[in-house]
Amino acid sequence: MEVSVGAFQAQSQKQIDAYATPYVATEPRVVTCLITLLRTCSQGDRQRLADLAGTSVNYLYGLGSCARGGMSSRLAFGIEDASIQLHKETHGRTPIVSARELSTMCSLVGMRKH
């Protein structure tokens, strides 16, 4: 099979164009109650929240962005208790999230991975 140089260059240019095209999200980014809490916190507050809840900051972000499966009720109540404690420590600067909000945040926006 013979391939002309022009055809090869045209194919190569299509590949370059495909990679050069910027990614545009087709769905709006959804902000959950947990992401709102994490964004409100300072870096120290986020670490304190994670420590009080018995998990890591990265895991909280994974849960908040609905990238992980559902959370256990133990963790949901741990995050709720931690958010209440942090709310007190920050004199109301950080929001309180309830276990009910946490348990439904991804399913309400249709983002939970099955």
Question: What global pTM score does this model have?
Answer: 0.70
Residue 17 falls within a domain, yes or no?
Answer: no
Supply the range of the domain harboring residue 80: 33-108
Per-residue confidence (pLDDT) for residue 114, from 0 to 100: 45
79, 99 in Cβ contact below 8 A? yes
pLDDT digits (tens, 9 = 90+) for 8-29: 565 666 666 656 555 554 555 6
Residue 72 falls within a domain, yes or no?
Answer: yes
Residue 6 falls within a domain, yes or no?
Answer: no
Residue 11 falls within a domain, yes or no?
Answer: no
Residue 100 falls within a domain, yes or no?
Answer: yes
| Chain mean pLDDT for the chain | 82
Q: For 33, left (φ over 0), alpha (ψ -120 to 50), or beta? A: alpha
Report the number of distinct structural domains present in the chain: 1
Q: What does the alpha-carbon distance between residue 67 and residue 106 come to, in Å, rounded to a whole number?
A: 9
Residue 55's nearest CA partner among 83, 88, 27 is 83
Residue 47 falls within a domain, yes or no?
Answer: yes
Q: What does the alpha-carbon distance between residue 43 and residue 105 come to, in Å, rounded to a whole number?
A: 23
- Phi, psi (deg, nearest 5) at residue 16: -60, -45
Residue 15 falls within a domain, yes or no?
Answer: no
Residue 113 falls within a domain, yes or no?
Answer: no
